[in-house]
Amino acid sequence: MMEPDKRNKRMTYKYLNLLKEGWLGVLFAASIGMLGYGVKTITKSPISDPLLVAIVIGIIVGTSTPRGSKLTAGFVLAPAIYIPIQDLLQPLRRFLLD
Protein backbone atom coordinates (compact mmCIF):
# COMPACT_ATOMS: atom_id res chain seq x y z
CA MET A 1 0.00 0.00 0.00
CA MET A 2 1.20 3.50 -0.81
CA GLU A 3 2.31 5.82 1.97
CA PRO A 4 -0.05 8.76 2.71
CA ASP A 5 2.60 11.38 1.87
CA LYS A 6 3.18 9.94 -1.59
CA ARG A 7 -0.55 9.72 -2.23
CA ASN A 8 -1.08 13.35 -1.20
CA LYS A 9 1.77 14.50 -3.45
CA ARG A 10 0.29 12.60 -6.39
CA MET A 11 -3.12 14.17 -5.80
CA THR A 12 -1.53 17.62 -5.52
CA TYR A 13 0.34 17.15 -8.79
CA LYS A 14 -2.84 15.90 -10.43
CA TYR A 15 -4.76 19.04 -9.46
CA LEU A 16 -1.88 21.32 -10.38
CA ASN A 17 -1.66 19.71 -13.81
CA LEU A 18 -5.42 20.06 -14.25
CA LEU A 19 -5.20 23.70 -13.22
CA LYS A 20 -2.34 24.28 -15.65
CA GLU A 21 -4.37 22.72 -18.47
CA GLY A 22 -7.72 24.18 -17.57
CA TRP A 23 -7.10 27.61 -16.08
CA LEU A 24 -9.16 29.13 -18.87
CA GLY A 25 -12.17 26.99 -17.93
CA VAL A 26 -11.79 27.88 -14.24
CA LEU A 27 -11.67 31.56 -15.12
CA PHE A 28 -14.65 31.16 -17.44
CA ALA A 29 -16.62 29.42 -14.68
CA ALA A 30 -15.88 32.34 -12.34
CA SER A 31 -17.10 34.80 -14.98
CA ILE A 32 -20.34 32.80 -15.34
CA GLY A 33 -20.85 33.15 -11.59
CA MET A 34 -20.27 36.90 -11.78
CA LEU A 35 -22.66 37.08 -14.71
CA GLY A 36 -25.31 35.38 -12.56
CA TYR A 37 -24.84 38.00 -9.87
CA GLY A 38 -24.98 40.76 -12.50
CA VAL A 39 -28.28 39.44 -13.85
CA LYS A 40 -29.70 39.43 -10.31
CA THR A 41 -28.51 43.00 -9.73
CA ILE A 42 -29.83 44.33 -13.04
CA THR A 43 -33.22 42.62 -12.96
CA LYS A 44 -33.83 43.09 -9.20
CA SER A 45 -36.15 40.12 -9.43
CA PRO A 46 -36.73 38.06 -6.28
CA ILE A 47 -36.93 34.93 -8.44
CA SER A 48 -33.53 35.31 -10.14
CA ASP A 49 -31.18 33.90 -7.54
CA PRO A 50 -27.52 34.38 -8.66
CA LEU A 51 -26.71 30.72 -8.04
CA LEU A 52 -29.70 29.53 -10.08
CA VAL A 53 -28.88 31.88 -12.96
CA ALA A 54 -25.22 30.80 -12.92
CA ILE A 55 -26.19 27.11 -12.89
CA VAL A 56 -28.52 27.54 -15.88
CA ILE A 57 -25.89 29.51 -17.83
CA GLY A 58 -23.24 26.95 -16.86
CA ILE A 59 -25.39 24.07 -18.08
CA ILE A 60 -25.97 25.81 -21.40
CA VAL A 61 -22.28 26.63 -21.87
CA GLY A 62 -21.13 23.21 -20.64
CA THR A 63 -23.35 21.31 -23.03
CA SER A 64 -22.36 23.47 -25.99
CA THR A 65 -18.60 23.16 -25.34
CA PRO A 66 -16.77 20.40 -27.25
CA ARG A 67 -15.30 17.66 -25.05
CA GLY A 68 -11.68 18.08 -26.09
CA SER A 69 -11.45 21.83 -25.56
CA LYS A 70 -9.31 23.63 -22.98
CA LEU A 71 -12.45 24.72 -21.16
CA THR A 72 -13.45 21.14 -20.34
CA ALA A 73 -10.53 20.53 -17.95
CA GLY A 74 -11.35 23.76 -16.16
CA PHE A 75 -15.03 22.87 -15.88
CA VAL A 76 -14.04 19.61 -14.19
CA LEU A 77 -11.76 21.40 -11.73
CA ALA A 78 -13.92 24.47 -11.01
CA PRO A 79 -16.30 22.80 -8.52
CA ALA A 80 -13.33 21.47 -6.54
CA ILE A 81 -12.10 25.05 -6.19
CA TYR A 82 -15.23 27.15 -5.89
CA ILE A 83 -17.51 24.98 -3.74
CA PRO A 84 -15.16 24.99 -0.70
CA ILE A 85 -14.67 28.75 -1.13
CA GLN A 86 -18.44 29.22 -1.29
CA ASP A 87 -18.90 27.04 1.80
CA LEU A 88 -16.51 29.29 3.71
CA LEU A 89 -17.91 32.60 2.50
CA GLN A 90 -21.66 31.84 2.63
CA PRO A 91 -21.95 31.98 6.46
CA LEU A 92 -19.96 35.20 6.46
CA ARG A 93 -22.32 36.72 3.89
CA ARG A 94 -25.36 35.63 5.91
CA PHE A 95 -23.82 37.08 9.08
CA LEU A 96 -23.01 40.44 7.49
CA LEU A 97 -26.29 40.88 5.60
CA ASP A 98 -28.73 39.71 8.28
Sorted by where each begins, the domain ranges of the chain are: 25-97
Q: Are 40 and 48 in contact (CB under 8 A)?
A: yes
Distance between CA atoms of 56 and 37, rounded to whole angstroms?
A: 13
Contact between 53 and 36 (Cβ < 8 Å): yes
Q: What is the pLDDT of residue 66?
A: 85
Higher pLDDT, 89 or 60: 60
Residue 3: its pLDDT value, please? 58
pTM of the model: 0.67
Mean pLDDT of the chain: 79
pLDDT digits (tens, 9 = 90+) for 8-44: 667 667 777 777 878 888 888 889 888 888 888 898 8
pLDDT for 11 equals 65
User: What is the rounded distance in angstroms from the CA atom of residue 46 to the CA atom of residue 25?
Assistant: 29
